[in-house]
Amino acid sequence: MGVQDLIRAIKRQETPATRALYRLGKRVKSFEVPAPKALVEPLYYAQQSVRNALDEVARAAWNQPLFRARCASVGERLSLIGGLPYIYGHLAIHIGDDCTISGRTSLVASKVFDQPVLRIGDRTYVGYQVTISAGREVTIGNDVKIANGVFIADNPGHPLDPVQRRTQAVGPEDLRPVHIGDDVWLGTNVVVLPGVTIGDGTVVGAGAVVTKDLPPRVLAAGNPARVVRALAEGERPEDA
């Protein structure tokens, strides 16, 4: 019996011997060293403290200097969280003051124009695994909150025609700038498609796909995103 045959027989538990080996394997996989809470809990916090300290050193001495060098302009008090954002292509990146950007963000330029532009305003937050694809121009205002997993693009990525998709990129006519106003909140996994303008103060619910313009100060949700209602002055997130 070969090794693969033995593994298969153990998984199937076909005989008393293979059943015993299967149970032994389960016990081995679930084994852990006894860990008294009073002893191990301080070790956990010590490990976290060391990790956080190393992350801060990497941020200040490596990630942020490299990121600033790659951008066209970056304001004061930038904060990168958890690494160095991935930047692809010749993208002109302009970032305002007091911005926080996840190190797991992807900033991508298409190949249609020589140097597409991404502008991010002051005090804007860009969350974990956000992707922004700019072929011409993507503008994000001040005090914007972009939650985890958001995708923003001013281009469709590929031509609609299947024959063209084999060899050709999208044409200049297919690229339409995206403009996101001040104080916008994009929920988790929101998709913003080419040509969209989102008005100041608007909230877009999690998972929505924004295909058309949204006016200021509304709550929008769904696929495609539609206005649910207007937002009252001073309304809190939990009231929305």
Position 237 scores a pLDDT of: 53
Q: Which amino acid is at 130?
A: V
Given 90, 94, 158, 179, the catalytic residue: 158
179 has catalytic annotation: no
Q: What is the pLDDT of residue 234?
A: 72
User: What domains can you pick out in the chain, each with its CATH number?
Assistant: 37-231 (2.160.10.10)
Q: What is the pLDDT of residue 233?
A: 79
Measured between its terminal Cα atoms, the distance across the chain in Å is: 64
Tokens for 206, please give them: 């999690």
Question: Which pLDDT does position 98 carry in this prediction?
Answer: 98
Q: What is the pLDDT of residue 106?
A: 97
Residues 6+ apart with CB under 8 A from 191: 150, 151, 152, 208, 209, 210
d(CA 203, CA 183): 9
| Beta-bridge mates of residue 212 | none
What is the per-residue pLDDT for 86? 97
Residue 238 pLDDT:
52
Cα separation, 19 vs 38, in Å, equals 38
Provide block-wise average pLDDT over 10 residues at a time, the chain (240 residues). 86 90 91 89 95 94 96 97 95 98 95 90 98 96 98 89 82 90 97 97 97 97 96 67
Whole-model pTM: value is 0.85
- Amino acid at residue number 22: Y
Q: What is the pLDDT of residue 236?
A: 62
Buried b (16+ CB within 10 A) or exposed e, 38-59: eeeeeeeeeeeeeeeeebeebb
